[in-house]
Amino acid sequence: MAKIDELKSLVSSQQEGLTQQQQKLSEMEEEHGRKLAGKIQEISELQSRLEQQAETQQQQLTKISELQSRFEQLAERERLKLSELNASHEREMAAKNKRIDEMQALLDRQMEPCEDVVEVTQRNRIILLTGYKEGSELNELKEAIEVLGGTVRHGSFSSDVTHCIAQGRTAKLLKALLKGIWVMDQSWISASKSSGGFLNEQDYGRRITKKPFDGMNFSVTRGFNQEAEKRNAQLLKICRSFVKMGGGKFVELGNNSDYIFIAKKEHSNQLARVQSLTWEGFLEKIESLGRE
Protein backbone atom coordinates (compact mmCIF):
# COMPACT_ATOMS: atom_id res chain seq x y z
CA MET A 1 0.00 0.00 0.00
CA ALA A 2 2.83 2.33 0.86
CA LYS A 3 4.49 1.53 -2.44
CA ILE A 4 1.34 2.38 -4.33
CA ASP A 5 1.12 5.73 -2.59
CA GLU A 6 4.74 6.32 -3.34
CA LEU A 7 4.22 5.51 -7.01
CA LYS A 8 1.18 7.77 -7.11
CA SER A 9 3.20 10.55 -5.56
CA LEU A 10 5.99 10.01 -8.12
CA VAL A 11 3.52 10.03 -11.02
CA SER A 12 1.88 13.14 -9.68
CA SER A 13 5.27 14.81 -9.34
CA GLN A 14 6.20 13.85 -12.94
CA GLN A 15 2.86 15.06 -14.24
CA GLU A 16 3.38 18.34 -12.44
CA GLY A 17 6.87 18.59 -14.01
CA LEU A 18 5.46 17.90 -17.47
CA THR A 19 2.78 20.52 -16.91
CA GLN A 20 5.46 23.07 -15.98
CA GLN A 21 7.54 22.10 -19.03
CA GLN A 22 4.48 22.41 -21.26
CA GLN A 23 3.75 25.80 -19.72
CA LYS A 24 7.36 26.93 -20.37
CA LEU A 25 7.20 25.58 -23.92
CA SER A 26 3.94 27.45 -24.43
CA GLU A 27 5.50 30.65 -23.09
CA MET A 28 8.53 30.15 -25.31
CA GLU A 29 6.29 29.56 -28.30
CA GLU A 30 4.37 32.75 -27.53
CA GLU A 31 7.61 34.72 -27.16
CA HIS A 32 8.98 33.27 -30.38
CA GLY A 33 5.69 34.05 -32.12
CA ARG A 34 5.82 37.67 -30.92
CA LYS A 35 9.43 38.03 -32.10
CA LEU A 36 8.63 36.38 -35.44
CA ALA A 37 5.60 38.65 -35.88
CA GLY A 38 7.84 41.66 -35.13
CA LYS A 39 10.40 40.50 -37.69
CA ILE A 40 7.69 39.90 -40.24
CA GLN A 41 6.30 43.38 -39.58
CA GLU A 42 9.80 44.90 -39.93
CA ILE A 43 10.33 42.98 -43.17
CA SER A 44 6.93 44.13 -44.40
CA GLU A 45 7.69 47.76 -43.54
CA LEU A 46 11.12 47.49 -45.17
CA GLN A 47 9.57 45.95 -48.26
CA SER A 48 7.00 48.74 -48.33
CA ARG A 49 9.75 51.38 -48.09
CA LEU A 50 11.72 49.64 -50.83
CA GLU A 51 8.66 49.59 -53.03
CA GLN A 52 8.10 53.30 -52.37
CA GLN A 53 11.73 54.04 -53.18
CA ALA A 54 11.51 51.95 -56.33
CA GLU A 55 8.33 53.81 -57.30
CA THR A 56 10.04 57.15 -56.63
CA GLN A 57 13.06 56.10 -58.67
CA GLN A 58 10.79 54.97 -61.47
CA GLN A 59 9.03 58.34 -61.39
CA GLN A 60 12.39 60.10 -61.47
CA LEU A 61 13.53 57.93 -64.38
CA THR A 62 10.29 58.75 -66.18
CA LYS A 63 10.86 62.47 -65.60
CA ILE A 64 14.48 62.17 -66.77
CA SER A 65 13.30 60.33 -69.88
CA GLU A 66 10.68 63.02 -70.54
CA LEU A 67 13.25 65.80 -70.04
CA GLN A 68 15.71 64.03 -72.32
CA SER A 69 13.02 63.65 -74.95
CA ARG A 70 12.13 67.36 -74.68
CA PHE A 71 15.81 68.32 -74.88
CA GLU A 72 16.29 66.17 -78.00
CA GLN A 73 13.23 67.80 -79.57
CA LEU A 74 14.53 71.29 -78.74
CA ALA A 75 17.99 70.37 -80.04
CA GLU A 76 16.48 69.08 -83.27
CA ARG A 77 14.43 72.28 -83.71
CA GLU A 78 17.53 74.43 -83.06
CA ARG A 79 19.53 72.32 -85.50
CA LEU A 80 16.87 72.81 -88.16
CA LYS A 81 16.78 76.56 -87.47
CA LEU A 82 20.57 76.77 -87.70
CA SER A 83 20.54 74.78 -90.92
CA GLU A 84 17.89 77.11 -92.36
CA LEU A 85 19.88 80.18 -91.26
CA ASN A 86 23.07 78.80 -92.83
CA ALA A 87 21.23 78.03 -96.05
CA SER A 88 19.67 81.50 -96.03
CA HIS A 89 23.07 83.10 -95.39
CA GLU A 90 24.65 81.11 -98.22
CA ARG A 91 21.85 82.16 -100.59
CA GLU A 92 22.23 85.77 -99.49
CA MET A 93 26.01 85.71 -99.94
CA ALA A 94 25.64 84.03 -103.34
CA ALA A 95 23.17 86.74 -104.41
CA LYS A 96 25.49 89.49 -103.13
CA ASN A 97 28.49 87.95 -104.88
CA LYS A 98 26.46 87.71 -108.07
CA ARG A 99 25.50 91.38 -107.83
CA ILE A 100 29.11 92.31 -107.09
CA ASP A 101 30.31 90.29 -110.10
CA GLU A 102 27.69 91.97 -112.29
CA MET A 103 28.72 95.42 -111.09
CA GLN A 104 32.38 94.47 -111.54
CA ALA A 105 31.70 93.36 -115.11
CA LEU A 106 29.93 96.65 -115.76
CA LEU A 107 32.82 98.57 -114.22
CA ASP A 108 35.32 96.59 -116.33
CA ARG A 109 33.41 97.52 -119.47
CA GLN A 110 33.57 101.18 -118.47
CA MET A 111 37.29 101.19 -117.76
CA GLU A 112 40.14 99.94 -119.85
CA PRO A 113 42.64 97.64 -118.11
CA CYS A 114 45.89 99.21 -116.92
CA GLU A 115 48.01 96.84 -118.98
CA ASP A 116 49.70 99.51 -121.06
CA VAL A 117 51.04 102.88 -119.93
CA VAL A 118 49.91 105.72 -122.17
CA GLU A 119 52.79 107.37 -123.98
CA VAL A 120 52.51 111.12 -123.45
CA THR A 121 53.47 113.73 -126.02
CA GLN A 122 53.16 117.50 -126.03
CA ARG A 123 49.94 117.20 -128.04
CA ASN A 124 47.93 114.56 -126.15
CA ARG A 125 47.91 115.59 -122.50
CA ILE A 126 44.36 114.91 -121.31
CA ILE A 127 44.25 115.95 -117.68
CA LEU A 128 41.64 114.76 -115.16
CA LEU A 129 40.90 117.17 -112.31
CA THR A 130 39.37 115.57 -109.24
CA GLY A 131 38.49 116.75 -105.74
CA TYR A 132 38.13 120.40 -106.75
CA LYS A 133 35.03 122.43 -105.94
CA GLU A 134 33.57 124.74 -108.49
CA GLY A 135 35.18 128.16 -108.15
CA SER A 136 37.98 130.44 -109.21
CA GLU A 137 40.78 127.99 -108.37
CA LEU A 138 39.29 125.32 -110.62
CA ASN A 139 38.57 127.80 -113.40
CA GLU A 140 42.13 129.18 -113.34
CA LEU A 141 43.53 125.64 -113.43
CA LYS A 142 41.37 124.70 -116.40
CA GLU A 143 42.33 127.87 -118.24
CA ALA A 144 46.06 127.28 -117.65
CA ILE A 145 45.83 123.70 -118.95
CA GLU A 146 44.01 124.81 -122.09
CA VAL A 147 46.53 127.64 -122.67
CA LEU A 148 49.30 125.03 -122.48
CA GLY A 149 47.51 122.95 -125.12
CA GLY A 150 46.09 120.29 -122.83
CA THR A 151 42.56 118.96 -122.57
CA VAL A 152 40.61 119.06 -119.30
CA ARG A 153 38.43 116.29 -117.93
CA HIS A 154 36.45 117.13 -114.80
CA GLY A 155 33.88 114.78 -113.30
CA SER A 156 34.39 111.87 -115.69
CA PHE A 157 37.19 109.31 -115.93
CA SER A 158 37.42 108.56 -119.63
CA SER A 159 39.73 105.99 -121.15
CA ASP A 160 41.88 108.64 -122.88
CA VAL A 161 43.01 110.38 -119.65
CA THR A 162 46.80 110.68 -119.46
CA HIS A 163 47.26 112.73 -116.27
CA CYS A 164 45.44 113.29 -113.00
CA ILE A 165 45.64 116.23 -110.62
CA ALA A 166 43.81 115.71 -107.35
CA GLN A 167 42.93 117.83 -104.36
CA GLY A 168 42.86 115.32 -101.52
CA ARG A 169 42.29 111.57 -101.77
CA THR A 170 39.53 110.68 -104.23
CA ALA A 171 38.42 107.46 -105.92
CA LYS A 172 39.56 108.87 -109.29
CA LEU A 173 43.03 109.59 -107.88
CA LEU A 174 43.34 105.98 -106.66
CA LYS A 175 42.11 104.63 -110.01
CA ALA A 176 44.65 106.80 -111.82
CA LEU A 177 47.45 105.40 -109.67
CA LEU A 178 46.30 101.80 -110.26
CA LYS A 179 45.95 102.37 -114.00
CA GLY A 180 49.51 103.69 -114.36
CA ILE A 181 48.41 107.22 -115.23
CA TRP A 182 50.59 110.19 -114.31
CA VAL A 183 49.50 111.71 -111.00
CA MET A 184 50.77 115.27 -110.91
CA ASP A 185 51.16 117.98 -108.29
CA GLN A 186 49.19 121.16 -109.05
CA SER A 187 52.48 123.10 -109.11
CA TRP A 188 53.27 121.33 -112.40
CA ILE A 189 50.67 123.46 -114.16
CA SER A 190 51.83 126.80 -112.71
CA ALA A 191 55.49 125.99 -113.42
CA SER A 192 54.66 124.83 -116.96
CA LYS A 193 52.64 128.00 -117.55
CA SER A 194 55.62 130.10 -116.47
CA SER A 195 57.92 128.20 -118.83
CA GLY A 196 55.52 128.36 -121.75
CA GLY A 197 55.03 124.61 -122.13
CA PHE A 198 54.45 121.38 -120.21
CA LEU A 199 57.49 120.47 -118.12
CA ASN A 200 58.87 116.96 -117.59
CA GLU A 201 56.37 114.87 -115.60
CA GLN A 202 59.06 113.08 -113.57
CA ASP A 203 59.95 116.34 -111.77
CA TYR A 204 56.39 116.95 -110.56
CA GLY A 205 54.54 113.67 -110.57
CA ARG A 206 54.59 109.90 -110.25
CA ARG A 207 53.18 106.81 -111.87
CA ILE A 208 53.65 103.04 -111.82
CA THR A 209 54.67 100.97 -114.81
CA LYS A 210 53.36 97.58 -113.66
CA LYS A 211 50.35 96.36 -111.74
CA PRO A 212 51.04 96.53 -107.99
CA PHE A 213 48.98 93.43 -107.08
CA ASP A 214 49.88 91.28 -110.06
CA GLY A 215 49.33 87.58 -109.22
CA MET A 216 48.29 88.29 -105.62
CA ASN A 217 45.31 86.68 -103.88
CA PHE A 218 43.00 88.68 -101.63
CA SER A 219 40.40 87.47 -99.12
CA VAL A 220 37.93 89.12 -96.77
CA THR A 221 36.81 88.16 -93.28
CA ARG A 222 33.18 88.09 -92.22
CA GLY A 223 33.95 91.05 -89.94
CA PHE A 224 35.16 93.10 -92.93
CA ASN A 225 32.03 92.18 -94.91
CA GLN A 226 29.79 93.33 -92.05
CA GLU A 227 31.76 96.55 -91.56
CA ALA A 228 31.66 97.30 -95.29
CA GLU A 229 27.88 96.79 -95.47
CA LYS A 230 27.36 99.20 -92.57
CA ARG A 231 29.68 101.87 -93.98
CA ASN A 232 28.80 101.89 -97.68
CA ALA A 233 26.70 99.57 -99.79
CA GLN A 234 29.19 100.03 -102.68
CA LEU A 235 32.37 99.54 -100.64
CA LEU A 236 32.79 95.84 -101.43
CA LYS A 237 32.28 96.52 -105.12
CA ILE A 238 34.87 99.33 -105.02
CA CYS A 239 37.28 97.08 -103.11
CA ARG A 240 36.99 94.30 -105.69
CA SER A 241 37.39 96.85 -108.49
CA PHE A 242 40.60 98.30 -107.02
CA VAL A 243 42.08 94.83 -106.44
CA LYS A 244 41.28 93.77 -110.00
CA MET A 245 42.67 97.01 -111.49
CA GLY A 246 45.87 96.34 -109.56
CA GLY A 247 46.17 92.84 -111.05
CA GLY A 248 44.97 90.89 -108.01
CA LYS A 249 42.04 88.55 -107.53
CA PHE A 250 39.75 87.44 -104.73
CA VAL A 251 39.84 83.90 -103.33
CA GLU A 252 38.12 82.15 -100.43
CA LEU A 253 39.49 82.99 -96.99
CA GLY A 254 42.58 80.94 -96.19
CA ASN A 255 42.97 79.69 -99.78
CA ASN A 256 46.60 80.78 -100.34
CA SER A 257 45.78 84.41 -99.56
CA ASP A 258 48.51 87.03 -99.79
CA TYR A 259 46.34 89.74 -98.21
CA ILE A 260 43.29 89.52 -95.95
CA PHE A 261 40.89 92.43 -95.53
CA ILE A 262 39.86 92.74 -91.87
CA ALA A 263 37.60 95.08 -89.88
CA LYS A 264 39.14 97.91 -87.84
CA LYS A 265 38.87 96.14 -84.48
CA GLU A 266 39.52 92.70 -85.87
CA HIS A 267 42.73 90.68 -85.61
CA SER A 268 43.78 88.17 -88.24
CA ASN A 269 44.41 84.65 -86.92
CA GLN A 270 45.82 83.47 -90.22
CA LEU A 271 49.43 82.48 -90.84
CA ALA A 272 52.07 85.09 -90.16
CA ARG A 273 53.03 85.19 -93.84
CA VAL A 274 49.61 86.60 -94.73
CA GLN A 275 49.33 90.38 -94.46
CA SER A 276 46.14 91.88 -93.05
CA LEU A 277 44.65 95.12 -94.38
CA THR A 278 41.92 97.40 -93.09
CA TRP A 279 40.05 99.46 -95.69
CA GLU A 280 41.96 102.60 -94.66
CA GLY A 281 45.25 100.73 -94.81
CA PHE A 282 44.43 99.52 -98.34
CA LEU A 283 43.63 103.07 -99.52
CA GLU A 284 46.88 104.35 -98.01
CA LYS A 285 48.77 101.55 -99.76
CA ILE A 286 47.31 102.60 -103.14
CA GLU A 287 47.85 106.29 -102.45
CA SER A 288 51.55 105.66 -101.77
CA LEU A 289 52.12 103.96 -105.16
CA GLY A 290 54.91 105.55 -107.16
CA ARG A 291 56.48 107.23 -104.12
CA GLU A 292 58.98 104.46 -103.44
pLDDT given for residue 25 in this prediction: 78
Encode pLDDT of 202-237 as tens digits. Answer: 999 999 999 999 999 999 999 999 998 888 888 999
Q: Please tell me which residue, 52 or 190, carries the higher pLDDT value.
A: 190
User: Higher confidence at residue 248 or residue 101?
Assistant: 248
Other CB atoms closer than 10 Å to residue 56's CB: what's the count? 10
pTM score of the predicted model:
0.59
| pLDDT tens per residue, range 153-174 | 887 788 889 999 999 999 999 9
Spatial distance between the Cα atoms of 192 and 127, rounded to a whole number of angstroms: 14
Instruction: Quote the pLDDT of residue 15.
Output: 77
pLDDT tens-place string over residues 92-151: 777 766 766 666 655 554 444 444 444 455 458 999 999 999 898 999 999 999 999 999
- Please calculate the CA angle 130-134-138 and round it to the nearest 5 degrees: 65
